Amino acid sequence: SAMYNAKHNGVSYTKFDSEEDSKRLARMQLISDLKYAVKANQLHLNYQPIVDLNHNKIIGVEALARWQHPDHGMVPPDQFIPLAEKKGLIQELTLWVFDVAFKQCAQWHNMGAKITMSINLSPRNFLDPGLPNEISDALKKCKLDPQWIKLEITENMTMSQPEKALEIITKLKDLGLDISIDDFGTGYSSLSYLKKLPVSEIKIDKSFVTDMDNDHDNKVIVNSTINLAHDLGLDVVAEGVENNNILKILKELGCDRAQGYHMCKPKNAEEISRWIFESEWQIEQNNKAQVSS
Ligand code: C2E
Ligand code: CA
Ligand code: CA
């Protein structure tokens, strides 16, 4: 155990640490459990609405993966997604996400709710040359037009190999998919760099948004990000909107879209279906007419 630790940390020797050892064993057990999670039906997707602040209506949802572990209960994605990424399981997991999320989106469209579906990509997904074909195939299966899909990537994914990133994003864009920059503000890119890529939207990270009603600096950061993004022709989503005061401020600042616990927490498909048709953030009237007809 000490030898593995030393190798992992790139040092020549280390002392055995029983606590570290049990953590390592737990991690290894989790990895082996994760291999079976998709097949064993332990994963499901929750969806969180994204609302349009100019028209006060829902325009899309973000798909968020959940793992109900038979012994440990709900394992958060922050824990199992990095494991899947590291252990080569992320591709299978993401293909499963495409299948389930696209099918769900098509179903909502059939019910009259023409909303977008945002999907999180991990760095490995983004660099996978097979990604455009995999998305096309999954979309064809449920007869969904690519214009309804937004792929969320982080700034850092585009920064390590900028030329490659441009090539990949251009390919995805040519397919008709939209690209959104997630967690904006936490990475090392600038808006002027991002503008060189064919992306249409940035999502301001929740660490700036959740307390912007009390933290003056964060309000200034959100305000200037919105203005600069708009000057560069990019739409802005604020994530982590936890109260009505923040929502009001965002509207005053001209933010285009918002997502957060205040509007709706991530919920399963059935609960979100109800929210889409019954909440105050209603879908467009003509869509609703189709539902009732
Ligand atoms: P993310 O993409 O930044 O997703 C937003 C996270 O913020 C979600 O956490 C969501 O539940 C949480 N959130 C939403 N509104 C609020 C709010 O008002 N306040 C606060 N404090 N938090 C809010 P979640 O579901 O635990 O997901 C964590 C991360 O795991 C995601 O962050 C994303 O990076 C990753 N993830 C989730 N599902 C997938 C997936 O299918 N594929 C990949 N590659 N990553 C995923
Ligand atoms: Ca996201
Ligand atoms: Ca985010």
Quick: pLDDT tens for 174-201: 999 999 999 999 988 888 888 889 999 9
For 241-264, what is the mean pLDDT? 98
Q: Is the pLDDT of residue 69 over 80?
A: yes
User: What letter represents residue 142's amino acid?
Assistant: C
For 258-264, what is the mean pLDDT? 98
- 3-class state of residue 63 by DSSP: strand
Enter the tokens of residue 3: 């030898």
For 230-251, what is the mean pLDDT? 97
For 67-92, what is the mean pLDDT? 94
Q: Is the pLDDT of residue 70 over 50?
A: yes
For 117-143, what is the mean pLDDT? 96
> Are residues 101 and 63 in contact, defined by beta-carbon separation less than 8 angstroms?
yes
> Are residues 97 and 119 in contact, defined by beta-carbon separation less than 8 angstroms?
yes
Contacts of 64 (CB under 8 A, 6+ apart): 45, 46, 47, 48, 77, 120, 266
* Of the listed ranges 6-10, 208-212, 274-278, the one predicted with least confidence: 6-10
Of 290 and 120, more confident:
120
Q: Is 149 in the pocket of ligand 1 (CB under 6 A)?
A: no
Distance between CA atoms of residues 187 and 225, nearest Å: 14
Nearest atom (ligand 1) to Cα of 262: 18
Cα-flanking dihedrals φ and ψ of residue 210, to 5°?
-60, -30
Residue 178: strand pairing partners: 150
Distance between CA atoms of residues 237 and 6, nearest Å: 43
The protein residue whose alpha carbon is closest to atom 4 in ligand 1 is: 64
Average pLDDT, the chain: 93
The protein residue whose alpha carbon is closest to atom 32 in ligand 1 is: 78
Q: Is 205 in the pocket of ligand 1 (CB under 6 A)?
A: no
Q: Is 38 in the pocket of ligand 1 (CB under 6 A)?
A: no
User: What letter represents residue 79's amino acid?
Assistant: Q
For 161-184, what is the mean pLDDT? 95
pLDDT score, position 285: 47
pLDDT band for position 292 (cuts 50, 70, 90): very low
pLDDT band for position 284 (cuts 50, 70, 90): low
Contacts of 276 (CB under 8 A, 6+ apart): 49, 58, 108, 113, 115, 283
Contacts of 10 (CB under 8 A, 6+ apart): none
The protein residue whose alpha carbon is closest to atom 27 in ligand 1 is: 77
Residue ranges in 38-185 assigned as alpha helix (H): 77-86, 90-110, 123-127, 131-141, 155-159, 162-174
Q: Is the pLDDT of residue 206 over 90?
A: yes
Distance of alpha carbon 203 from the chain centroid: 10
pLDDT score, position 286: 47
pLDDT score, position 21: 85
Q: Is the pTM of this model over 0.75?
A: yes
